Every structure is written in structure tokens, then in C-alpha cells.
Structure 1
């Protein structure tokens, strides 16, 4: 067995250990309501077991990271698969640190699913070790990417605690207009999470059955001399094409539920790299996430927030508010170093300028400014509780767009990360 094969095996082990740890956290928190023993002893016992299992998962994850580094000959953070797996590992490191400070097992019930979702999302991308392009072949790749991801990991823990706070304080028995608005936005946040899970499920489902569809499209390109040349591009789908690329022809397509051709084509203004395929993926994610959300609503016969809310009984919301703030306060200086200072140094070395208004640079700055505002409002204006929690949730949405949306949707110098 090669070192890379061993690395893949321990990564799979880490994934299952995280899943088991989540189940044990569920038993620790939700199970104490039905325990015949002292609820506090029940939570402490199962919380300890869950933390041990999650720590074993983190150990396996660290083993994956270093064995892939040694086997591949380069730090495994150079493409979307490697970076997202590293982010999942960083979230577990951040969670472990915060857990050791506050000793709150409830946090694991939300941090572990977030890690599992990110790892599942990472597994959608090609897993082969890809050679570094020249701009990435630098020591600054290690310090920039790892510190930026670690800062984002603490933001993720802050997001988890902030969402828990909102679920704790939202009154699902209140029928006032303000209460219904709060219930709607909490539920929309949970629905958005199910859409991401739906994306992962639908990709793996169609990958398992080997679905494929291929298209070709002509594209006019003006060369340096002003001569218009026509090139033919190929586009490969692994999901049934509800949307085909603009001005394209079907080369091969497997029928799906009687659909033998795409329902419509992407609009002409959507002409970026693989724009049609990406729009098709978004549509499938929304369909799958909506179906999943509908099935959960049908099973529980209540909104998901109303299902989770009783689990929070007995939890001090001030503790959740404090955990969210502390996690973000720890992550902010780390993110500042990695995403701004080290990134600018690397940009000067790689491209000869500190700043170039590349989309990834712009969104990293937006993220930094948002969390700067969060800390300002928290410390200077006394924004605590619900406003602070919503800022923690919105901030991590911006982080996800910076990581995913910019890499996969907006073309720029950082687009290599989506290959």
C-alpha cells in the first residue's frame, strides 16, 4: 500500500469517527431528557466519550494531512479538495481549543455536523495530487493558506455557537409579527444548510450510477491581432442537464426520468467558465435540498428550528453568546495574518504587487471588514445576544462565498483552486 492510499484510508476513518462523535454528542445532549440517571452525569459521561471519539477523528485527520503531504511531495492545500479537507481539520482544531476552554458538549452537536458537511463537500472534487503551478510553489503557500484557514475555522465555531444561540432564544410559541420574522430567518438558515447537504447527496448519487452527459459549444475568440477565431469547447456533466451551456449541442446524454434533452439553455450573458454546468448544479442542489427539507418537515411535522429548540432547554444563552464572541475574537487576528498580511507578501513575490483587486482579494478584504465591524459593534456599541449572533451567522456565509463562490464562479487569479 502506498502512502497516498494509506492517507485516503485514514481520511475515511476520520470521517466515520466524526460521524460517531456527532451521534455521541446527540446522546449526551438530547438523551439526557430521557435518562433515568442524573441528567448532568449523563451529559458529562457521554460528552466525554464524544470528545474522545472526536479527538481520535482529529488524530486520524492529522495523519491524513501529513501522510498526503509526504506522499504527494507538497502541502495538501493547493486545490478545492485539499483546501476543504484542511478547513474541516482546522475547524476540529478550533473546536477542540474552544471545548477545552468552556467544556460545553452542546457545541460539538453543531461543530461536528459542520465538519462532516465540509468534508463531504470536499469529496465532490477530484482527489488526485495535482502538481503546483509556479505561483503556488512558495513557502508562503504554507503560511498564507494554513493561517487563513485556521482563522476561518474559528469563525466557523463562532457561527455554530451563534446559530445555537438563535435556536435557543427563538420562541416558537410566540405568534407576534416580530417572532414570526425571527422564526422565518432561523428556519431559512437551516434550509440553506439542507441545500448544501442536498448538493452533496445528489452529486454522490449520480456519481454512483455513473451518469454522464457531454456537450460542445462554439466560442468566438479575438486574438492579439484582432482576428476573430472560433474555438470548440467541450463540457462534461455528471448531473442530468436541466440546463445546457449556452449555444451548445448535445454530444451524448443518458436519459433520466424520461428527460432525453435539456429543458433549457443557460442565458447568453452567463458565459463564464462552465457557467451552464454550474447553474445546472445550483438548480439540482436546490431541488435536492428542498426535497430533503420537505422530508424532514414531513417526518417531524414541525419546522426544523422547533424540533431543535427543545434540545436547548437548560442551556444558558449567555454562555453561547460568549463562546461565539470568543471564537471570533481568537480567529480574527489569525485571519488578519493569513488572509491579508501573508497574502500580500505572497502576492508581491508571485505577481509583483501587494494588491490587484482580484475577486478573491476583494472578498477576503470584505470578510475582514465585516468581522472588524462585528468586533467594533460588540466592544464599542455593546451589541450582544441576538444581533451579535446574527452577525456571526452572516459573517460565516461571507466566508463560505469567499471560499466557494469566488473559487468556482468568479474568474480570477485564484480560480486554479477550483480545478
Structure 2
């Protein structure tokens, strides 16, 4: 296939991924909406009345009657189709993931370089990384409750990439023609995907009430977010260090107070503060979640806002 055909195929893969993510989101939402409710800290379980045989009469008579006895048992039975909808949604999410991967691979083949040299390619890759983090976690732990929110995040991200950041496949500026793009940017993409998963869990933590809810407990949501950040923080640290090494090779200095460098470091400090608070000060619950979401906000501004609103040496995103 020619480069133009590969580029067109990449665009079709992106559209297919958006559609698949949207349908998967609906399936996950059906499972969440009609699945079993989960009690919160202050929740009390409902009771159902079960009839048990109770002996009645005097003198140990053998005749028995049926008396009503109330048992405290768990509550809301899930809809029979809810689990099936979730299973179908998971399959569609994997197919959408494959389409997302196909978009990245064919884009790279069409331009004969690593396919994250502009904002369009970078956002497509981050959406892929976020879905990968979700699906990889699902392989070991049941986190399908995150499905609707991760899918809608990925679909909106790809839609934003197509409508706002789209760049025709082609060469990049000379500064990006380096093997460092495979090292530095890849680490930033993977860690950003994991941070996104943690951000979704953090938002759900704040949204969830204390009573019965379709969402898992706040402890489970906090645990998912914390594990994702523990895994991704070293990757982000490596990305910052690799970026400094690349800057020295490209511009002759490790640090130059460029806006992207500054906000990458601010993001690192924010996530470091979250981990430090969890490890030493024993922060739990709402306080640590708010710190985590502040760090996630710094990440989003660094990845998107800096490229759009602030001029600097990294202003080659092709969106101005």
C-alpha cells in the first residue's frame, strides 16, 4: 500500500475505534445501571422475607405450620441481561483497542517514523494507552465498573484529536527526528494513560455517595487509583529525565525553563506530593483523592493546554 493509502486507513481505524468505544460504553453502562448495587459505609442492607417451617402447637405436636421469618440478606438482584451486556462491551472494547492500535501502526508506516510527532498523533496514542491500562487491569481484577467512564474518555479524546488536532500525515520538524522520541515520548504516553485511569477512578470516588450505589466502594476506587499512580509515577520520572537528556542533545542544555519542561516538572511534583502524603502522612480518602485530581489537572494542562495556549520550544503541535 502507498503512504497515502496507509494514512487513509489510519483515519478509518480512528473512526472505527471511536464507534466501538461508544458502543462498548453503552454496554458497560447497562451493566452498571442494572447490576447489583453495592453498600457504602453508611448503608444498611435491605431485608427480604423468607418463609421457614416453624413447629406450632403444645406438647411437642408434630403438626407444623409455616411462619414468616425475616432474614437480613443481600439485596438487589442484577438483571439477567446486565452481565451479558458487560461481557459484550468488554469484547467490543478489545476490538476498539485493536482498531486504535491499527490507527497508530498504519500512521507510523505511512510517515516512516514514530507516530507521535504532533498533537493529533499524541492524543490518539494516549487514548490507546488509557484503554490499554483499563483492559490490562481487567485481566487481573474486575474493574468493569470503570468501563463506561474510560470508554467515554477515550471516545471523546479521539473525537477531539480528529476535530481539533488533526494533522495530515507528513514529516516532522528536525528536532523530532531522533531516537529519543521513541524513549521519551513513549514513556510519557504510557504513564499518561495510567494517570488517566487513576483520574477516572478519582472522579468516581468524589461522585459516589455513602449509601447504596452501583459503583464499588470508595476504598476500591481509591485502591485502583493508587496502584495506577504507583506504577506510572516512575515512568513519568523517567520521561522527565529522558526529556532533559534529549534537550541537551537537541538544544545544548538540560533545562531551559521552557513551558513544557516547567509543567512536566510541576506535574511530577504534584504526583510526588500525593504519593508522599499517602506514604508518610497517612492521608486517605477525600483529601488524597483531591491531591491526585489536582495532579491530574496539571497533567492535562501540560499535555494539551501548554501546546495550545503557550508558545515555547515545544510549540510544534500543529494546532495554532
Q: TM-score, normalised by structure 1?
A: 0.63
Q: Secondary structure at the match of 1:416?
A: coil
Q: Determine if the alignment matches structure 1 residue 119 to structure 2 residue 119.
A: no
User: Are the counterparts in 1 of residues 35 and 214 from structure 2 also a CA contact under 8 Å?
Assistant: no
Alignment of 1:52-67 (within 5 A): 52-67=91-106
Counterpart CA distance in 1 for 2:138 and 2:234 is 20
Q: Which residue of 2 aligns with 1:154?
A: 194
Q: CA deviation at 1:31?
A: 2.6
Match of 2:8 in 1: 5
| Residue number among 175, 178, 184 corresponding to 1:135 in the alignment | 175
Counterpart of 1:352 (choices 249, 252, 265) is 252
1:382 aligns with 2:282: yes
Distance in 1 (CA, whole Å) between partners of 2:318 and 2:273 is 30
Q: Which residue of 1 aligns with 2:17?
A: 14
Q: Deviations over 1:129-175 (max 9, x none)?
A: 1321111100001111111111011111001001111111378xxxx
CA offsets per residue over residues 333-368 of structure 1, 9 Å max, x none? 111112x11111111111111111111000000000
CA distance in 1, matches of 2:79, 2:270: 38
Q: CA deviation at 1:64?
A: 0.9
Larger radius of gyration: 2
| Cα separation, 1, equivalents of 2:151 and 2:220 | 19
Q: Output the CA distance in 1 between the equivalents of 2:189 and 2:318.
A: 16
Distance 1:117 1:376 in 2: 32
For residues 236-315 of structure 1, the aligned pairs below 5 Å read 312-313=213-214, 315=216
**1:99–1:105 Cα contact (<8 Å) kept:** yes
Matched, 1:28 2:31: yes
Counterpart in the other structure of 1:333: 234
Instruction: Show the counterpart of 1:168.
Output: 208
Q: Cα RMSD over matched residues?
A: 2.0
Q: Which residue of 2 aligns with 1:68?
A: 107
- 1:51 is aligned to 90
Q: CA distance change for structure 1 residues 161 and 32 in 2, over 3 Å: closer, same or farther?
A: same
| CA distance in structure 1 between the aligned counterparts of 2:18 and 2:193, rounded to whole angstroms | 17
Q: Give the C-alpha shift of residue 43 in structure 1.
A: 4.6
Is residue 2:214 matched to residue 1:324? no
The residue number in structure 1 matching 2:121 is 82
Aligned mates of 1:350, 1:4 — CA distance in 2: 29
* Pairs aligned (count): 277
40 and 31 in structure 1: CA distance in 2 versus 1, 3 angstrom threshold:
closer
CA distance in 1, matches of 2:36, 2:146: 17
The answer on whether the counterparts of 2:27 and 2:85 sit within 8 Å (CA) in structure 1 is yes
Whole-angstrom distance in 1 between the partners of 2:279 and 2:297: 22
Gapped runs of 5+ residues in structure 1?
A: 172-309
Which of 297, 304, 307 is residue 397 of structure 1 equivalent to? 297
Output the CA distance in 1 between the equivalents of 2:201 and 2:166: 32
SS at match of 1:53: helix
Asked if the contact 1:18–1:54 (Cα under 8 Å) also holds between the matched residues in 2, the reply is: yes
- Where in structure 2 are the equivalents of 1:102-117 lying within 5 Å? 102-117=141-156
Residue 329 of structure 1 and its aligned partner are, at CA, apart by 1.0
